[in-house]
Chain A
Amino acid sequence: MTTMQRLLQLPVNAVNIVKTVQSQVQGHEEDKSPVLSPDSGQQTWYSALQPDELRHLRSGGTGGGGGGGGGGGGGGDQEERGSQEDGGGGGSFQSQPLRHDDLKEMLDSNKDSLKLEAMKRIVAMIARGKNASDLFPAVVKNVACKNIEVKKLVYVYLVRYAEEQQDLALLSISTFQRGLKDPNQLIRASALRVLSSIRVTIIVPIMMLAIKEAASDMSPYVRKTAAHAIPKLYSLDPEQKDQLIEVIEKLLADKTTLVAGSVVMAFEEVCPERIDLIHKNYRKLCNLLIDVEEWGQVVIINMLTRYARTQFLNPNINESLLEEGGGADKTFYGSDEDEDEDEEEKEKKAEAAAMAKRKPYVMDPDHRLLLRNTKPLLQSRNAAVVMAVAQLYFHLAPKAEVGVIAKALVRLLRSHSEVQYVVLQNVATMTIKRRGMFEPYLKSFYIRSTDPTQIKILKLEVLTNLANETNISTILREFQTYIKSMDKDFVAATIQAIGRCATNIGEVRDTCLNGLVQLLSNRDELVVAESVVVIKKLLQMQPEKHSDIIKHMAKLTDNIQVPMARASILWLIGEYCEHVPKIAPDVLRKMAKSFTNEEDIVKLQILNLAAKLYLTNSKQTKLLTQYVLNLAKYDQNYDIRDRARFIRQLIVPTEKSGALSKYAKKLFLALKPAPVLESPFKDRDHFQLGSLSHLLNAKAGGYQELPDWPESAPDPSVRNVEVPEWTKCSSREKRKEKKVEKPFYSDSEGESGPTESADSESDSASGSESGSEGSGSASESEESGGVSVSEEEEEEEEEEKKTKKRELKKAVQESESEQSSEEEDRKHERKMKQQKSDSESESDEEEESESESSQSESDDSESEAEVRKKKKAAESKPPSKPAKRETTKEKKEMSLLDLDDFEPAPSPQVTPVNNLFSNSLVTDLEGLSLSEAVLLPATITPSSALKSYELLHRITGEGLSVEYCFSRQPFSPDANMVAVQMQFTNSSASDTKSLHMEDVKLQSGMRVKEFPEIELLPAGETATAVMGIDFCDSTQAANFQLCTHTRKFFVSIQPPVGELMRPVFLTENEFKKEQGQLMGMNEITEKLTLDAKCRNEHAIVQRVTTAANLSRVPCGSDKECSPPVPPPEHPVHRFAGRTVTSGSLVLVTVATREEGAAQLTINCEKMVIGTMLVKDILLALTQ
């Protein structure tokens, strides 16, 4: 074929030559051949695309050759040549009909393969942004083509050009209308998609009708498409809004996850202000959320954030109260800086606190529902979803709970640099409001030299925001390495960051200043200039102390050329000329000399300096000032001339000079407030985080303002849903699941408090609702375990009877009326369900859902009903479990074998797993004789529960591993120290000699009594030693080096707060007396739900004493004489201790209530200890 082409090419060229000649004859216009006019625009456009085009045409031509014979192949080529010529000549429109003739021909042919080829070429043209609009009539004819790929490509074409050729586009409408009725849901959906994408105003009514019909289609996919079509129609004709809202309302009620995301999207684009439409769907959306596709999740979460802001109360409303009481969060995070929040805010808070005092804040259960259901999404792989949840928590969650988002956001920093960029922007804003949240992740923001500059600068911003007294030294050390970077923009930003740290943290101001002064001798001028500017700002805060720095800077004027830096130095000298009386006039002298060559901003500062000197030291500088003013008088810049004139009038007394000159000194030498260096991200959080507007710090089009919290909560009952009867579930399987889910209902009820009773009153049908909601979520969100909300628990049984009736009814309904779309929907779901359960093994599914439900129960079980349920579950579980375990055991062995088959046998001493195994083996062997006793839970011996911590892992320690535990024995050499028992194990092959510690680094006040040196630790041996540490009642770590004869290891011991105390013996009366003296600020109370395994006395005592080194106060000691008194129904457990260093009393009370509820009270003079202890004990009791 190729040879044939080559053969054919010759005549073609000949034809071209003829053509050119002809055109030359014909007229001037057309005689520009492409070769002759390489500079014409059309030509370049052409040549860029030519090769591709040629290839297509060639292949097309050869393809066509089959139909039209050998001549056809040549014809294609000829066309191409010819058109190229014309393209070079006149306008492109002349050329295109010619060039596209072959395409038209192919489109008109009755071969699908030809049509497809033609369409492919046309689409390729569109993709490259070339105009193919003249082919419209030829293409549109193929809209009804049978070949689905051709059809799709025709759709692509149509959507692109319909707007330009409205009349012709109408030809295709009837095809789509037919398509809307097609039995294939894909065809229905794509017909609707294209119909709604054709932006032709005339068909608005048709589109409206189609959308309405599709909104009640039985296929959820078509309904989804309908939801997508809504914003399209709205943008075409906003007058349809009211009708569209009706459709949205209808689709919002849809119960499939497929539709949810799309319809909320439509809602956001069409009627974001109609928040009332959400009420009825709120709970459903919350429950569906986890199963919605990722993109829908983002949209729904963002919308729900706004919704929650209008409907619920601020959960942090009584935050200030809490802070006064215990300072819980603050001390925990150690962010004392929080205190300098705005005065205004404080006032507001005080007000709010006063309000809160009157009416304690109870979180609306719906608010809780939202927080609980979004939290798992922090684990999404999609960065946008994670960000959406993060912003939701930031804007809506109680302060104590916001912390969970930090980890997820830090994770995103591993992602693509664009993602990092956006996340860092948001983190920067968050760190200003809630620094404590990100402090533990400080190091994740350290900068690598390979980061792009924009990322570096954002990380720097975050680091600066995170800086406080405790971490500033590490941060500054880090900054020091940054200053040496090759990236000068980044260095400049670092210097600014140092400046900001210095202004914010008084302690390091001098250090920073010294560091910056050292930078003044840097070789890079940009660095010097930036430091000068920053030093200027810092000096303004306390100029008296630093006249020598000012002197140093004065010297720099000789070398430094950057205008901004020169100006800054001059300003400094002028402002503080009194501190450098000798140097200032000299600087002015030099400046006067170089005045004419300076930049404008420097000139202005020279004038200022001159004026100030004239006012303070006119003797020496009078002439100089005159000279400078004269120079400025004839300057080219009018600003400078103006300034000179103005200054002369002010400072040089003449007869004419006005009253102002008297005040010249006051004008020039007024005290100027020090500049405030603050983050550019301050107050950005009034924009919804994660939004485009937040990123740009400007309102983007269509941005929905995040409303302020309402003063008082709107009626929560609007969210109760009334559901028609037919949605009741019927299948046995679903019923079973519903039962399993029961606890969820009661759970939410328990939390609901006052709001809930209103619900049930206002809504008599809520009983049926509970059922249907349950079924809805059960079928849709199985994997999530379907957390669902309901109100009436008591009616449950009655309802089951009803359901049975309905079941019958439903069966009838089903058989006769398949029309009802919702019915269809339901059916479809069931089908899916069946499919699913077929594929999954039945027993597994059940097992799973059961365990899931019990899990979520223990999460926060408060109500009675739930506990009852739980017991039931526990009873029903045992028989099924052992059987399963057996089977799994079998399987386990087999699968392990398989796995091991796959990988080569690992060498034993290095594999971590083996390591673990052997460890556990050792402990097993040790405990062998005792194993019986260990299993008995009754023995309450806190010493047995000593928890050991790892000090040095054997891998890091190169064979030496060290564990330590707090032995809780009094440390004999010094009673104020905590005894730490260390166990050294030498698992390496060689002996370890002279084990000792060195280089102890401690916080001020802390002391350490080192353990005696261990001379020799033979290979495979274990040794123990005891050391004492006085932690000063703080949980700061003690850092030191562990040295062997060969190596040194940096290690640190950080005590849990519970180890900072020793037990004391008190009687109950003494306890109560002491407690009475530690009220108010010193008392912290927390409500909790005891863990299921921790409801008896033994368990509670054991857990508390494990968590903290306390002794139990014997209860009932006041009724000693009558021992057989039955134990009280709700016993109160008391524990007492004193802190090791200061000996402050620590009193712990655990008062149990019904069904696992309990109240924990801690009285301690040291509030920090108290708050931390509360956390630890709470954890111990609830897990």
Chain B
Amino acid sequence: MINSLFLISHSGDIFLEKHWKSVISRSVCDYFLEAKEKAGDPENVAPVLQTPHHYLISIYRGKLFFLSVTQTEVPPLFVIEFLHRVADTFQDYFGDCSEVVIKENTVTVYELLEEMLDNGFPLATESNVLKEMIRPPTILRSVVNTLTGGSNVGGTLPTGQLSNVPWRRAGVKYTNNEAYFDVIEEIDAILDKSGTTVFAEIQGVVEACVKLTGMPDLTLSFMNPRLLDDVSFHPCVRFKRWESERVLSFIPPDGNFRLMSYHVSSQNLVAIPVYVKQNISFLETGSCGRLDITIGPKQTMGKSVENLTVTIPMPKSVLSVNLTATQGTYTFDLTTKVVLWDVGKLNPQKLPNLRGSISIQTGSPKPEENPSINIGLQIQQLAISAGLKVSRLDMYGEKYKPFKGVKYVTKAGKFQVRT
């Protein structure tokens, strides 16, 4: 399956390599670097490349390329999904997945990779299992280890590896037993120039943070699960129960995990929380343009809109912008030509406005398309799908009474206004 893995920095520096079968020379990366050069934007590098003797499958995460080399047929998604899992694991272990962090923890990274794949086939990818075998580095532990000569590597087979619930380790103990669930809904929308919705849908996830002692068996039920059109679950969820009773029944992993993600059925109309009044124009003559954006609340259901951000990727010919914001601050990135306006909290009484002029390189023609506007926002204590609500959480199998909490957040997902 996966022969080798190379980690390549944004600038093209190969800083880590790992081979599971015979060593493949790192010169194989040249094909990739060439493709990267050609594509310009790292997002545009084809995830699958063919070279005379190898196939290169890569992902781009956190300014890093994870490049895997394979010689034979393998489902590309298999590799891509695995590489993302590797990146997730690094994130989980080191709190970040960047070149610096990986270089700092080379040995742990190597040990992890060694456990995650055997002969190129995934072996242990559950973070709970991995954490039992290789303990994540903490300052305290490294100090203790240098003093006592202890190690970060477990000596016995993790219990999860053998049980029917590989995601949970045995013997979990907490003094405070808590279970938190965050219902996060994201609005994906495309609005056209006039503000009419071209396309809108709601995607949600239930993120959980469960710190419970022992082997609790939880049952989570919703007020009206009929709203859910399409769901995908963490492997711990018993699918049959969901099919028959529409409740989530599961033995939770320890710690943070994504319990489920869902799509709200498309029959329901999507409430669009804000409207954008915009006027971006480039003058036919002369090298300047005008920008005027106002944002106001639309269907917020009485909640306040927070963390409002507006991102506008400008045409490449734009030299600089000279804008004034009535609220919040804006920045213009000269290399990427992106205007980022951080508005903050939306005040319905005094609508935030950004206006000013744009100057364009002299001599370049007027840009044809007006840039699209990407909105980011957050509404606390609201699930925008209007009605999805956790009705209850029951625990079986353990005696104690846990503290339970549910939080609702609505965010803008891929929320774009065309101009």
Contacts and interface: CB of A to CB of B under 8 A. Distances in A.
A224 to B, nearest CB: 8
Contact of B75 (A163, A262, A691): A691
Contacts of B110: 123-124, 126-127, 156
Interface string A890-929: 0110011011001110110111110110000000000000
Interface stretch (B90-98, B119-127, B351-359): B119-127
A422 interface: yes
Contact of B386 (A481, A703, A912): A912
Given A454-B46, A903-B407, A909-B302, A384 B157 contact: no
Nearest to A119: B107
Contact of A421 (B46, B163, B192, B231): B46
Given A199-B21, A702-B72, 18 more contacts: A120-B107, A123-B110, A153-B107, A163-B23, A221-B162, A228-B121, A235-B21, A257-B164, A293-B125, A382-B81, A486-B369, A692-B76, A700-B55, A702-B71, A848-B238, A898-B403, A911-B301, A953-B268
Interface string B267-299: 011010000000000000000000000000001
With a 10 A CB-CB cut-off, give which of B81, B199, B396 has the most chain A CB atoms: B81
Interface in A1025-1039: none
Interface stretch (B146-154, B325-333, B339-347): B146-154
B143 interface: no
Given A291-B164, A848-B241, A913-B389, A419 B151 contact: no
Nearest to B109: A127
A1128 interface: no
A855 B240 contact: yes
B405 A149 contact: no
Given A844-B217, A895-B394, A262 B121 contact: yes
Interface string A828-855: 1000100110011100100010011001
B258 interface: yes
B243 interface: yes
With a 10 A CB-CB cut-off, give which of A156, A693, A915 has the most chain B CB atoms: A156
A902 B405 contact: yes
Interface string A438-456: 0000011010111011100
B381 A906 contact: yes
10 tightest A-B CB contacts, nearest first: A839-B215, A702-B72, A149-B151, A855-B244, A910-B302, A902-B405, A186-B157, A912-B386, A452-B43, A418-B47
Given A523-B368, A895-B394, A953 B386 contact: yes
A421 B299 CA distance: 34
A891 B394 contact: yes
The interface size bin for chain B is 35 or more
Interface string A955-970: 1101000000000000
Interface string A95-114: 00000000000000001110
A247 B186 CA distance: 50
Contacts of A321: none
Nearest to A257: B164
A852 B240 contact: yes
Nearest to A147: B151
Interface string B392-417: 11101110000111111000001010
A186 B156 contact: yes
Which label, helix, strand, loop or mixed, suits the secondary structure of the B interface?
mixed
B223 A913 contact: yes
A411 B232 contact: yes
The interface size bin for chain A is 35 or more
Contacts of A780: 164
B155 interface: yes
Given A186-B156, A692-B75, A912-B387, A290 B239 contact: yes
A449 B114 CA distance: 40
Contacts of A902: 404-407
Contacts of A229: 119
Nearest to A184: B156
Contacts of B17: 127-129
B80 interface: yes
Interface in B90-147: 103, 106-107, 109-111, 114, 118-119, 121-123, 125, 146
With a 10 A CB-CB cut-off, give which of B75, B188, B268 has the most chain A CB atoms: B75
A199 B231 CA distance: 45
Interface string B153-181: 11111000111101000000000000000
B245 interface: yes
Nearest to A407: B230
A387 B396 contact: no
A379 interface: yes
A443 B199 contact: yes
Contact of A416 (B44, B59, B114, B155): B59
B164 A898 contact: no
Contact of A692 (B73, B146, B215, B391): B73
A524 B366 CA distance: 11
B70 to A, nearest CB: 8
A383 B397 contact: no
A946 interface: no
With a 10 A CB-CB cut-off, give which of A381, A828, A836 has the most chain B CB atoms: A381
A116 interface: yes
A67 to B, nearest CB: 13
A785 B77 contact: no
A197 B119 contact: yes
B282 to A, nearest CB: 12
A449 B394 CA distance: 45
A160 B386 contact: no
B4 to A, nearest CB: 11
Nearest to A854: B244
Given A112-B149, A899-B406, A840 B397 contact: yes
5 contacts: A124-B107, A387-B75, A408-B230, A696-B50, A783-B238
Contacts of B84: 416, 418-419
Nearest to A388: B75
Interface in A781-839: 782-785, 828, 832, 835-836, 839
Contacts of A449: 313, 371-372, 416, 418
Contacts of A981: none
A1166 B392 CA distance: 49
Interface string B234-272: 110011110111000101000000100101000011010
B14 interface: yes
A208 interface: no
A448 B416 contact: yes
Nearest to B301: A910
B75 A383 contact: no
With a 10 A CB-CB cut-off, give which of B17, B21, B80, B188 has the most chain A CB atoms: B80
B163 A835 contact: yes
Nearest to B74: A692
B22 interface: yes
Nearest to B75: A690
A895 B179 CA distance: 12
Nearest to A949: B267
B217 A840 contact: yes
Given A160-B19, A381-B261, A421-B46, A123 B78 contact: no
A443 B266 CA distance: 11
B155 A414 contact: no
A148 interface: yes
A302 B152 CA distance: 38
A417 B43 contact: yes
A522 B125 CA distance: 53
Contact of B271 (A416, A422, A956): A956
